[in-house]
Structure 1
Amino acid sequence: MIKPTPNPPEHEDTSPYESSDSKKFHEAAERALDHHFAPSSDKPKPRKGNLFAVSPNIDTEALLANASEELLSISAIAVNLADDVDGARRSLALALSRLADGVRLLVERALDHIDSPNPAEHRAKV
């Protein structure tokens, strides 16, 4: 195969910074690469010592809904446990179930306030 132009001659004098335009181009390319591929400094720092963590960008309604479901589960576990034990342990398990139910009611009320545009109006109606 015949090439229309010969290979360029290899010179040790050739530099990417040959002219002022190529220097500006190289600087602009470096800035662009640094901008797009540099490690981000706004990443959250990892917390030490936390086994469980809640994501900071979850909205309040989702947090309360999950808390309500967890309290329902705790109450069901306590009632199940109360069926298997007698005496003071039964009373303790039933007390835990009632406590979880009471806190769940508080969480449900908080969810109602989130749906209402003005919680004070909601209180006046109840």
Structure 2
Amino acid sequence: MDKLIPDPPFNTTTPNAEALRSEELLKDREAIKRALDYYLDPPKPYAAKPRRPSTMFMVAPDMDTESLLAQACESLASASVLASDFAINLIGPQRNTLLAIQQIIMLAELAVNRALDNVDPQA
């Protein structure tokens, strides 16, 4: 026998479940908004606060440029020798990595030497 009136749709959700789902969505939206605001628009106290470097190890403020460059040059030369000596004991990729680091140190040493020559030309 055919029905003239169709059955009503079967509703698996209850009104209480729908309310819980909408509440979860609202909480998710609020969390997303807080995260975006934090990363894209940082709070003003953090944005306006100037950076203060640590004064634990501080170079004397009255130190002249030539002395600073000479000290940097000596430190870079020592680091280059240490890297070279340590690279002798390594093999494979670790040795290549350390030799690359030594090359960077040597390039920095060359730059400091050039700056030192510009400050005090030995003509």
Normalising to structure 2: TM-score of the pair?
0.53
Structure 1: state its 5+ residue gaps.
1-46, 117-121
RMSD: 1.9
Flag the 1:94–1:62 CA change in 2: closer, same or farther, 3 A: same
Structure 1 residue 78 corresponds to structure 2 residue 73:
no
| Cα offset, 1:93, TM superposition | 0.9
Letter in 1 for 2:74: E
| Cα offset, 1:48, TM superposition | 8.0
1:57-95 deviation per Cα after TM superposition (whole angstroms, max 9, x unaligned) = 100000000000000011011111100111111011111
Flag the 1:48–1:71 CA change in 2: closer, same or farther, 3 A: closer
How many percent of aligned residue pairs carry the same amino acid? 39
Structure 1 residue 55 corresponds to structure 2 residue 42:
no
Give me the whole-angstrom Cα distance separating, in 1, the residues matched to 2:62 and 2:88: 40
Structure 1 residue 69 corresponds to structure 2 residue 74:
yes
Q: Which residue of structure 2 aligns with residue 98 of structure 1?
A: 103
| Cα offset, 1:51, TM superposition | 2.8
Q: Which residue of structure 2 aligns with residue 112 of structure 1?
A: 117
Flag the 1:66–1:48 CA change in 2: closer, same or farther, 3 A: closer
Give me the whole-angstrom Cα distance separating, in 2, the residues matched to 1:48 and 1:67: 20
Normalising to structure 1: TM-score of the pair?
0.52
Give me the whole-angstrom Cα distance separating, in 1, the residues matched to 2:54 and 2:68: 22
| Cα offset, 1:52, TM superposition | 1.2
Q: Which has the higher contact order (CA 8 A, sep 6+)?
A: 2
**How many aligned positions are there?**
71
Give me the whole-angstrom Cα distance separating, in 1, the residues matched to 2:115 and 2:53: 31
State the 4+ residue runs in structure 1 displaced beyond 4 angstroms: none
Structure 2: state its 5+ residue gaps.
1-51
